[in-house]
């Protein structure tokens, strides 16, 4: 089996595949309130997405995460999960979701081979939650988290994007909720993708170090060697099985160990979250329908485009004009 190795000798073991740019939320840091979504013929079909996943596993990728938009609003998502869950060589199959559809889907996802879930949760206050998501219902998300627990997922992790002045006063409440539910939580520095109108990123930026300092006023954090193959740096608490993770694209750049690439729902292979370096896989897939070797060759050739690092700023200078929903989770 050939492996994917970039020009900096990093082995690509993890691919994040966006299945849709659509979402039932409109989170303030992810997209604008009025969005124009892609025409359906520009989005990869379930069969095409399945082929992409198979190609990557045959090239040595061991971890696949499905993202969106919101992946659970994609029609026939259960068919795609079943196809990917059956792939040989896949050791870690996960999804990032807003949780609102999990009461309906959690059991079937687990039965189809999905092992873990990341669920976005930025506030435990119903009114604030609706403000941050513009359309979200907190009660449905909490119920979805519990549905995922009932379905028997190996690990469930909350993702919380912390914005100063908007939800940084809930950091300890979110930790307490994770502890009570016996699940993990990662705190994420806002990614500067797309022009947002709800807030100034420079004013709302809250570093992982600040979040960690707040947590340690109540819970001393112990270093952990655990690694899920993603960008989170994990810590433990002496009196809880819940792990605390930090994803720090600004303050603690994780590029040297980056083992990830992304595929957008329209079939663009993004070699870096913070750069526009990309390759059009859709054209190859549709030129050679159902054929995997041309697709694998295109993926191999693309590794030379993966840059050494990203360069994010918080001063309003948006290097990446695409929104997070277009990027994929």
Q: Please tell me which of 22-31, 60-69, 203-212, 249-258 the model is most confident about, judged by mean pLDDT.
A: 60-69
* CA 324 – CA 3 distance, rounded (Å): 28
29 assigned to a ligand binding site: yes
Per-residue pLDDT tens for 99-150? 999 999 999 999 999 999 999 999 999 999 999 998 899 999 999 999 999 9
22 assigned to a ligand binding site: no
Predicted confidence at residue 28, as pLDDT, reads 83
27 assigned to a ligand binding site: yes
Output b/e per residue, 180-217; b: 16+ Cβ within 10 A. ebebbbbbbbbbbbbebeebebeebbbbbebbbebbee
User: What fold is seen in the domain 14-326?
Assistant: TIM Barrel (3.20.20)
Per-residue pLDDT tens for 223-266? 987 766 667 899 999 999 999 999 987 555 556 778 889 999 99
Are the C-beta atoms of 12 and 300 separated by less than 8 Å? Answer: no
Are the C-beta atoms of 128 and 97 separated by less than 8 Å? Answer: no
* Pure H helices in the chain: 46-58, 77-85, 102-111, 126-133, 138-151, 171-181, 201-204, 208-215, 282-287, 293-302, 324-327
Give 196's pLDDT tier (boundaries 50, 70, 90): very low
237 assigned to a ligand binding site: no
HSE, side-chain direction, 13 A CA sphere, residue 180: 9
65 assigned to a ligand binding site: yes
* Lookup result for tokens 């041309």: 294
96 assigned to a ligand binding site: yes
* CA 303 – CA 280 distance, rounded (Å): 13
Average pLDDT, the chain: 87
Per-residue pLDDT tens for 298-320? 999 999 888 776 554 554 444 44
Residue 172 has pLDDT above 80, yes or no: yes
265 assigned to a ligand binding site: no
Q: Which two structure tokens, joined as six digits, stand for 309?
A: 């690092």
* Lookup result for tokens 């996960």: 94
95 assigned to a ligand binding site: no
Q: CA 3 → CA 50, 56, 289, distances in Å?
A: 19, 9, 23
Q: Which two structure tokens, joined as six digits, stand for 10?
A: 């990093």
Predicted confidence at residue 251, as pLDDT, reads 53
272 assigned to a ligand binding site: yes
Q: What percent of the chain has a predicted confidence (pLDDT) above 70?
A: 84
191 assigned to a ligand binding site: yes
206 assigned to a ligand binding site: no
Are the C-beta atoms of 212 and 247 separated by less than 8 Å? Answer: no
Predicted confidence at residue 274, as pLDDT, reads 63
């Amino acid at each position: 089996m050939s492996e994917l190795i970039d020009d900096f000798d990093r082995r690509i073991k993890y691919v994040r595949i966006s299945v849709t740019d659509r979402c039932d939320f409109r989170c303030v840091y992810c997209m604008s309130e009025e969005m124009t979504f892609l025409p359906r013929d520009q989005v990869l079909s379930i069969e095409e997405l399945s082929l992409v996943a198979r190609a990557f596993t045959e090239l040595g990728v061991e971890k696949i995460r499905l993202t969106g938009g919101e992946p659970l609003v994609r029609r026939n998502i259960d068919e795609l999960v079943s196809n990917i869950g059956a792939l040989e060589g896949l050791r870690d199959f996960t999804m990032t979701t807003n949780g609102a559809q999990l009461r309906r889907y959690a059991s079937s996802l687990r039965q189809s081979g999905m092992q873990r879930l990341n669920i976005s949760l930025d506030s435990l206050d119903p009114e604030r939650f609706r403000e941050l998501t513009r359309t979200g219902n907190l009660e449905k998300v909490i119920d979805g988290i519990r549905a995922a627990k009932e379905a028997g997922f190996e690990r469930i992790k909350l993702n919380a994007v912390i914005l100063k002045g908007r939800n940084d006063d809930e950091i300890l409440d979110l930790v307490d909720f994770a502890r009570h539910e016996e699940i993990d939580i990662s705190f994420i520095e806002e990614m500067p993708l797309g022009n947002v109108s709800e807030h100034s990123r420079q004013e709302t930026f809250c570093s992982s170090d600040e979040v960690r300092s707040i947590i340690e006023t109540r819970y001393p954090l112990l270093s952990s060697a655990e690694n899920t193959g993603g960008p989170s740096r994990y810590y433990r608490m002496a009196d809880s099985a819940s792990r605390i993770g930090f994803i720090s694209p600004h303050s603690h750049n994780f590029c040297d160990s980056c083992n990830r690439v992304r595929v957008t729902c329209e079939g663009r292979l993004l070699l870096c979250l913070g750069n526009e370096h990309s390759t059009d896989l859709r054209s190859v897939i549709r030129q050679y329908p159902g054929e995997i070797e041309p697709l694998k060759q295109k993926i191999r050739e693309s590794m030379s485009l993966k840059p050494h690092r990203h360069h994010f700023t918080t001063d309003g200078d948006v290097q990446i004009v695409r929104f997070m929903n277009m990027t994929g989770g």
